[in-house]
Amino acid sequence: MKSNLVPVILTAALTSVGTIFAVKQFSKSDPVLWDSSRQLPVNYVSYSSENGPVKGAPVDFRNAAESSVKAVVHIKTTINSRTVVARDPFAEMFGDNYFRQYRTPEQMGSGSGVVISPDGYIVTNNHVVNGADVVTVTFNDRNTRQAKVIGTDPSTDIAILKIDEKNLPFMEFGNSDDVHLGEWVLAVGYPLSLDATVTAGIVSAKGRTIGAAGTRGRSAIESFIQTDAAVNPGNSGGPLVNATGQLIGINSAIASLTGSYTGYSYAIPANIVKKAAADIIQYGTVQRGFLGIEPRDFKYATPDEIKTYKLTETEGVFVAGVSDKGGAKAAGIQKGDFITAINSSKVTTIPELNEQVARYKPGDHISVTYLRNGREQSTSVELKNINGTTDVVKDEVASPLTGASLGELSAAEKRKYGIEAGITVKKVGEGLLAKARMRDGYIITGINGNPVNTVTAVEEALSSRNDIQLEGFYPDRNGMYYYNIPAR
């Protein structure tokens, strides 16, 4: 029995020695095999350098999140119930005067906003407060205040609210030009009627356009920061925040087939928000500067333009035309040029061009770099307003009472009609009253359910850009008549 074990033991010993020898030989060149005598190369994932910032450091959002929620408010809006008059579907059978009255239910809405100054100025989206009769804001500590709408701007989808408070926590603006692809960001707001909520993501694109501008007029601006931070209904108007706690955008929209977040959200860049907010606070409306050109995107160019100007080969925004009243023509820019930079900031698309120009007001001078016949040139352009001047514009659209003539009723006229308040429309004109199909002789007794006694009150209401309802009567007809003026 013992003699049989000797060969087995010798074989095992020789196998072990051979295995150890082979391991040492192969481990000299094979990185998969481990040699305890070798020192593993170590690269720290967080270190500081004299030549730059800490690299590879994990992003810590705790301070940014905690400070942000203190400055972000929950906005609730109320649109009061109203009586409206709509044309009957069979109106043509019965004549133009055949209307029916309806009572709209009270409407509630909500969104988010962010305090931008310690004395109570709050920025949010225009679409959050548009048409609201009552606006309230609630802070994270449940402190609730009624807010006043200072001004709105549909073209940038920005609105400014004001509450009477002091020493409020507020958020500082960051520079949205310094935002980079892949940068970590926070979206803060009150989605889906929840309390203050913070989500994180990265910047996935800049200068995005999503087609919403068509509903906001010819001067609408779209140059969104696209992120994958989760944003849902209720987040509108809330801030997009960088890792240091600065406001770098206002969350405004999501791309979704369901109405809820599916991966893409869009924020208005802080540099546009900051300028719009300052203008609304100072002037009551945004002062838009215009180059005075007709920009053309390659996908909308004609075949002749593509061939003549080699649009597929040249970077920049193609100038398809120039306005006689604009600053571009006076500065020498011509049809066929390609604008490549504004104040040394590169532009390759119309949204990028609009974003750069939107930061300035009429009368400002900007440096425009362009290509003409392949040669780069630069010129200084004085921006003009929508009317081709550098004056302060109170409203981008024509007066709502263009050609109209209003008058206050005398005490005797009020007694005659049995009313306590009223303004007579002597002439409708060509403005909003005409668009509402009002007729001469109408007497306005109230606006949004409130009595009206002065022409100034009517003018201010029609200039507010909000949804309003005029109520009144015609002296030669029976019943009350209501006219709805939609928000602009």
Catalytic center residues: 127, 157, 236
Report the alpha-carbon distance of residue 474 to residue 88 in Å, rounded: 20
The rounded distance, in Å, linking the Cα atoms of 126 and 155 is 9
| Beta strand residue intervals within 230-363, DSSP E | 239-241, 247-255, 264-269, 293-296, 317-322, 338-342, 345-346
83 to each of 91, 103, 106, how far by Cα in Å? 19, 4, 11
Partners of 107 in the β-ladder: 79
Distance of CA 350 to the CA centre of its chain: 16
Query: What tokens does 206 get?
Result: 């800049």
- Residues 246-272, buried b or exposed e (16+ Cβ, 10 A)? bbbbbbbbbeeeeeebeebbbbbbbbb
Question: What is the signed CA dihedral for 165, 166, 168, 172, rounded to 10 degrees?
Answer: 110
Residue carrying structure tokens 């603006």? 173
Q: Distance between CA 410 and CA 458 in Å, rounded? A: 17
Give Cβ neighbours of residue 104 (< 8 Å, ≥ 6 apart).
81, 82, 83, 84
H or E element: which one contains 270? helix 270-283
Strand 375-382 relative to strand 365-372: parallel, antiparallel, unpaired? Answer: antiparallel
Count Cβ atoms below 10 Å from residue 476 Cβ, excluding itself: 6
Residue 293 identity: I
